[in-house]
Chains A and B, each alone.
Chain A
Amino acid sequence: AQSVTQLDSQVPVFEEAPVELRCNYSSSVSVYLFWYVQYPNQGLQLLLKYLSGSTLVESINGFEAEFNKSQTSFHLRKPSVHISDTAEYFCAVSDNYGGSQGNLIFGKGTKLSVKP
């Protein structure tokens, strides 16, 4: 069965510092990878996704993630964070087959806290 590991449950960082949120997955087949963000008291929103092609994917608000097949990782990075990036971030994986195997499997989340 697939699984997703987010290595850090909480990441405190100062404003304008770089940040990396780590995500590793286990799967023996080709996968699709996602990062979702959840702001306080809201639902989840898609931040970015990897389907195929370039292993580096970017979001509109400065986040990027790199798919590394050999290391089964999909770490999320931002070179300079803002207070408004404070949120919980979830990594998720699905495989590219139909049926129930196409469902999303979520990691346990990483709470990013940006301090002034």
Chain B
Amino acid sequence: DAGITQSPRHKVTETGTPVTLRCHQTENHRYMYWYRQDPGHGLRLIHYSYGVKDTDKGEVSDGYSVSRSKTEDFLLTLESATSSQTSVYFCAISESLGQGHEQYFGPGTRLTVT
């Protein structure tokens, strides 16, 4: 299994509260991704990173920000959580972008915003 951990694994928070999710990898892969998974929507890309301090928006980036200060860590922040951000969040990593390279997924973080 690829060395990817996510923390916390479960979190319940209140509307308007800031929340930060952490993804940590031990594979030294260049690319890292944050997805959210919702019933009936599959996985949707929030943000991705193609190197330290290099990030870009995905399909559903509104309300989220990311940071990557080290190769191994990719943080996802909800500045002011809303109920619509209740979801399961997955981090993924890959050696390269596209070109058929596999993405490896972490175990997920279940976030509930009340």
Residues of A within 8 A of B (CB): 6, 9, 32, 34, 36, 42-46, 49, 51, 90, 94-104, 106-109
What is the size category of the interface that chain B forms with chain A? 20 to 34
> A36 → chain B, closest Cβ, in Å?
8
Q: Which of B1-50 contact A (CB under 8 A)?
A: 4, 33, 40-45, 48
- Residue contact A101 to B43, C-beta cutoff 8 Å: no
Cα A98 to Cα B45 in complex, Å, equals 17
Which of chain A's residues have a CB closer than 8 A to the CB of B100? 32, 49, 51, 94, 96
- Residue contact A44 to B90, C-beta cutoff 8 Å: yes
Cα A49 to Cα B103 in complex, Å, equals 11
> A88 → chain B, closest Cβ, in Å?
9
Task: Known contacts A102-B97, A103-B97; decide if A43 and B102 are in contact (CB<8 Å).
Answer: no
> A27 → chain B, closest Cβ, in Å?
12
Which of chain A's residues have a CB closer than 8 A to the CB of B108? 42-43
Cα A96 to Cα B99 in complex, Å, equals 5
Q: Can you identify 9 A-B contacts, CB atoms within 8 angstroms?
A: A6-B42, A34-B102, A36-B105, A42-B108, A43-B107, A46-B102, A94-B98, A100-B97, A102-B99
- Residue contact A44 to B43, C-beta cutoff 8 Å: yes
- Residue contact A107 to B42, C-beta cutoff 8 Å: yes
Q: Which of B4, B58, B105, B106 is in CB contact (< 8 Å) with A103? A: B58
Which of chain B's residues have a CB closer than 8 A to the CB of A96? 98-100
- Residue contact A108 to B42, C-beta cutoff 8 Å: yes
- Residue contact A106 to B42, C-beta cutoff 8 Å: yes
Cα A42 to Cα B88 in complex, Å, equals 11
Task: Known contacts A43-B105, A43-B108; decide if A99 and B42 are in contact (CB<8 Å).
Answer: no
Which of chain B's residues have a CB closer than 8 A to the CB of A95? 98
CB of B56 within 8 Å of the partner chain:
yes
